[in-house]
Structure 1
Amino acid sequence: MIVNKKTAYIGCLGMIGIISTEFGVIGVLPQIAEHYQITIDKAGVLLSAFALVIALTGPFMTLMASGFDRKKVMVAAISIFLVTGIVSSFAPPFWLLLTVRILPAFLQPVYISTAIAAAVASGQRKDEHQLMGIVLGGIAIAMVTTVPLATYLAGVFTWKASFMVQTVVSGLALLGILKMLPPMPVLTRKSYGSQLQILKRPSFLISIAMNFFMIAAWFSTYSYFADYLGKVKQMDEKMISYMLFLFGVTGIVSNWISGKMLSKSIPLTTAAFLSGTLLIPFALQYSGGNTGMTILVVAVWGFLYAPCFLNASAYMISAAPHALEFANSLATSFGNLGVSVGTIVSGWVIATSGIAMSPWVGMSFGLLSLTMIGLRSLIESRQQQAECYS
């Protein structure tokens, strides 16, 4: 079990590097928009395009990499993230910034599914959700450390400092993987056909839809976190960095709690945290200009948001337990499609109706996601009844 946790923690370190690159840009979108003289929704393409590439290529890249040594796959993925951070920190022309942002997206789902598979591989089945939670906990840790730090340094110096933070984290992650992980060859390679069989299962297809709508719901607002707090709540860059820190702190706690809860009931745990997409818009609306109330809402927001990727992976894997890596890659891909669509749709609404409307876009997606959970539960209940009578 010690070896398993060590592998999981190294996977977590790499996850921090990945999330620092993907979401670190959220806190500096307003500054990037100002630097390149573009609108905030156009600057948001730096996030949505990254996510869209993952959504379109993730499953195929994961299938192609499924037979390679897991350590080598993780090293290759993090290396590209390192190069991206270095180039971005020099503030290249916007087209080049967008290009180097997109490149690591091709291997992001490969890294995540490989790191989770490596952590879970030799562990006991009863501990798999906790091991997954350690790896995916890197998301919450990045939210509490590197993402707010990048935003803070961008306020003190320049937005380019945020990419320097990403470069350092990716470099540390690469060093950790190289020095601390043993070679991890895949001993038994599953055929592509056996893994693709899960796409014939109605419960799995519904789980894909749930994942997509859930992530779209959260990122409809979170993608514009800095802009929302700045324009609607009148917070400066320093205060926004504190809010990102608070958001991540509560997220670390909830990620651990979610890992425990998933062992008891995956559907109920997923639905419980997803309820935040319905509660947060009202809470943000009625907190008004009260800074104390807004801080409380941000804390609750971070608590309910943080486990969304863990819950999505667990929910999808529960419908395809024999194709863990491929199911994980699909969870990552459709989750990132949700990031892309949520960011794009919310950006369009912001451009036409103002930034204050973004949480309500999230609530709409949240309702659709909860509907998918109910639909899958109904289908599985009927299947169980049919099996009892047969």
Structure 2
Amino acid sequence: MKKSLFSLTMGGLGIGITEFVMMGLLPDIAKDLSISIPQAGHLISAYALGVVIGAPLLIVVAGSYPPKKILMALMVLFTVFNALSAFAPGYHTLFIARLLAGLPHGAFFGVGSVVASKIAEKGKEAQAVSLMFAGLTIANIAGVPLGTYIGHHFLWRYTFVIVVIVGLITLLSLKLWLPALPAAKNRSLKQELDFFRRPEAWLIILMIAIGTGGLFSWYSYIAPLLTEVSAFSANSITYILVLAGLGMFVGNLAGGKLADRFSPSKACILLLLTMALTLVIVHFISTNQLLSLMMTFITGAVAFALAAPIQMLMINTAKGSEMLAASVSQASFNIGNALGAFLGGLPLAAGYDYTSPVMVGTLMALTGAGFAALLILRNKRSAQTLKSLAN
């Protein structure tokens, strides 16, 4: 791995830990701050809200600066606000700290995706982007379990101290190893926001928000699915989630190669259809422990294989507004997170068992594939129109 890409991977690692470790720390935070677990769950929503707000906003504000300076500034914000999370004296301060900590998330991945694609070898742009997202998957394999263990056995605040340390290492590696690429050509705010006037942009946003919501319909309820349906012990869930993280790591790298070999749009529709198929299989085999373990790995792999193709699809579609578009894809991903968890919970509230959320996820993945198909069809028609005009 290039040193320049390592710095982006480290940023992904820190972001992955702070985003996903909250699920495991909720009981510890609730006990320490004397609040209910549902109230502590609002801290997860606060971070997601920060991502949605910060992704486009920070890019619009900082888009005219060189990418290296933008990434370093974003990592400073990330480190400071996670330090605030570590020392927050009460619930309301922690809520604000989590909201602020989410602001740099989407913008970092947006700018980082563009940088990774520019410093990559020709024909390996998506693979370079996948190496940045590898930080997220490594967080699920090692960082989140470690952070959860520390929170359970020592103090949850120490976990955020670890995130701060990762942030400082990222800052140093960005300073030393990331090449100083030139700033984007001067573009007005109106030109940047013209991206949202394109139908293709909204097709991709809908594809991400609804299609990847299929992943979160499954992942949000994976613990009760494994304990109540597959009959695993509660103590084994952490280890099974590591297996899901390994699947995400493998799938993320495979998705980068897939997007380089084929077009990103074709990779997206193929992976969304495959996700729908894997979720149907999960629904029917979850009573078998061995098959359930196999599908936990496979579903994690298929879901995260989408990361690089989605980013490359956004970048290729938004010529001149690449950083804004790539950051918006992260905001859309977090909308998918909230949407998948909400819709997946509806059949549970209606009294159905813990296999029902994955069927909701199947419908969401198929809907996302439908938007990807519409995008491919629209692009073909545009290409044919341009060809006709040229002739």
Structure 2 residue 22 is the aligned partner of structure 1 residue 25: yes
Secondary structure of 2:174's counterpart equals: helix
Structure 2 residue 371 is the aligned partner of structure 1 residue 380: no
- Are the counterparts in 1 of residues 204 and 372 from structure 2 also a CA contact under 8 Å? yes
Q: How far, CA to CA, are the matches of 2:163 and 2:232 in structure 1?
A: 24
Change (3 A) 1:209 1:187: closer
Which residue of the partner structure matches residue 243 of structure 1?
240
Q: How far, CA to CA, are the matches of 1:242 and 1:335 in structure 2?
A: 25
Change (3 A) 1:348 1:31: farther
Question: How much does 1:169 deviate?
Answer: 2.6
Pairwise CA RMSD of aligned residues? 2.9
Which residue of the partner structure matches residue 256 of structure 1?
253
Which residue of the partner structure matches residue 187 of structure 2?
190
- Of residues 187, 195, 216 in structure 1, which corresponds to 2:213? 216
Q: Which amino acid aligns with 1:147?
A: V
- Of residues 322, 325, 343 in structure 1, which corresponds to 2:323? 325
Q: How far, CA to CA, are the matches of 1:380 and 1:182 in structure 2?
A: 34
- Of residues 289, 297, 306 in structure 2, which corresponds to 1:308? 306
* TM-score, reference length from structure 2: 0.86
Q: Which amino acid aligns with 2:69?
A: K
Which residue of the partner structure matches residue 270 of structure 2?
272
Secondary structure of 1:22's counterpart equals: helix
Please, which runs of 5 or more residues in structure 1 have no aligned partner? none
Q: How far, CA to CA, are the matches of 2:213 and 2:138 in structure 1?
A: 21
Secondary structure of 2:124's counterpart equals: helix
Q: How far, CA to CA, are the matches of 1:146 and 1:237 in structure 2?
A: 20
1:153-232, aligned counterparts within 5 Å?
A: 153-157=150-154, 159-160=156-157, 162-181=159-178, 183-184=180-181, 186=183, 188-232=185-229
- Of residues 112, 115, 127 in structure 2, which corresponds to 1:118? 115
Deviation per CA, 1:157-213: give whole Å up to 9, x if none: 465554444333333323333444455552633333333333232222211211111
Deviation per CA, 1:48-82: give whole Å up to 9, x if none: 33223322342122111112243333233223333
Structure 2 residue 43 is the aligned partner of structure 1 residue 46: yes
Q: How far, CA to CA, are the matches of 1:348 and 1:93 in structure 2?
A: 32
- Of residues 61, 74, 79 in structure 2, which corresponds to 1:77? 74
Change (3 A) 1:191 1:53: same
Secondary structure of 1:145's counterpart equals: helix
Please, which runs of 5 or more residues in structure 2 have no aligned partner? none
Change (3 A) 1:122 1:114: same
Question: How much does 1:261 deviate?
Answer: 1.1
Identity of aligned residues (%): 26
- Shifted more, 175-184 versus 325-334: the winner is 175-184
Q: How far, CA to CA, are the matches of 1:282 and 1:187 in structure 2?
A: 44
Which residue of the partner structure matches residue 370 of structure 2?
371
Q: How far, CA to CA, are the matches of 2:79 and 2:11 in structure 1?
A: 11
Which residue of the partner structure matches residue 146 of structure 1?
143
Change (3 A) 1:364 1:49: farther
Secondary structure of 1:73's counterpart equals: helix
Q: Which amino acid aligns with 1:130?
A: Q
- Are the counterparts in 2 of residues 266 and 315 from structure 1 also a CA contact under 8 Å? yes
Deviation per CA, 1:232-260: give whole Å up to 9, x if none: 44444542221221112222222221111
- Are the counterparts in 2 of residues 49 and 340 from structure 1 also a CA contact under 8 Å? no
Question: How much does 1:388 deviate?
Answer: 4.2
Question: How much does 1:324 deviate?
Answer: 1.6
Question: How much does 1:387 deviate?
Answer: 3.8
- Are the counterparts in 2 of residues 280 and 359 from structure 1 also a CA contact under 8 Å? no
Question: How much does 1:299 deviate?
Answer: 0.7
